[in-house]
Structure 1
């Protein structure tokens, strides 16, 4: 339903380069960085795995994820980040794109912290199996804790609106895949109509926030509470 096409023009070769914090901070002032984030679920979709980050730009419950490197596909970046943050060796093909999101943050880890940062995030869906769940080794430098949540806990609780948006988008994609499978199997028209209505309802729920405008998010770190207001796009 959603994917990230890739076009390589000319004989591109990535150059490995490490930036010290001061230099990286200057780059963040000038550039929008690309990140690959991962929404992890159990096989039945009834649980969502999140980590509580220690540092800005999002010192709260969040995806596993991080910056993409030049030359990587979003899926390759996601697989690399999973090795670093969870200790899991996973094939890039297992990461299914949910959507692309524009994120602007008032704070960042690198000084000057108050200059903030701007990201374009490709969020992926990853299903992990019980044996993989048992092998998870969370990166304690990045995350204070990690745990599983029920989807409704995230949708109705104190979580960043982007997490909720990605979850709604995943639900819409899941209903679309069920409809697609039913069409391919030649299911009865009544079954197709039911699935089509479910998909339209999920898609409308998913698109509603974006259609209203820009979400202004205020986060109180002390209470870990979110306040969201909608602004018209200028």
Structure 2
């Protein structure tokens, strides 16, 4: 059966109360991106960066999955072929909503990473500056999130899925952050039908065959209903 590949961005979690770095008044608006989301920023002020991600971790742990997350999990269960969910989000709302095997290309707030040996482990609620790695004991623990200037995770696997997709959907993405913004081109080259679902057209909206504008909690369940109707 045909493979479906879905890319999700911050827009799908916004209705669960998790803001994007373009929102006014949220955590991101209080800091410059280069100070809290780059390796250089972490090197300059690790206390600032750890504090920022500690706050994001608490916020994400309190958030609940919404109807859009639940709909994609329902699509995974109901579609006879493979449904691959790739997310730019570092929350765990897809999994909380019932999705499985989600590819977190930008890492996860729930994880810690050793900057020295690469060991990964579950992050404590509050990571401290110079926190030791449980594997090598060096004081180089950091959030297991991909910062600007770093290579996202699972890229070979993601590109392989895109080349095999019959249907590609981008949900709640801005189309401004690469390499994710280029996924539609990869899917098109593989012959996929491409659909964008977002509050407003993304920066790469013209590359999609169709666009659905509106709140993710409304557009995504309706789209999933249409896709699953093909099975019946």
TM-score of the pair, normalised by structure 1: 0.25
Of the two structures, which has the highest relative contact order with CA contacts closer than 8 Å and spacing of 6 or more? 2
TM-score of the pair, normalised by structure 2: 0.25
Larger relative strand fraction: 1
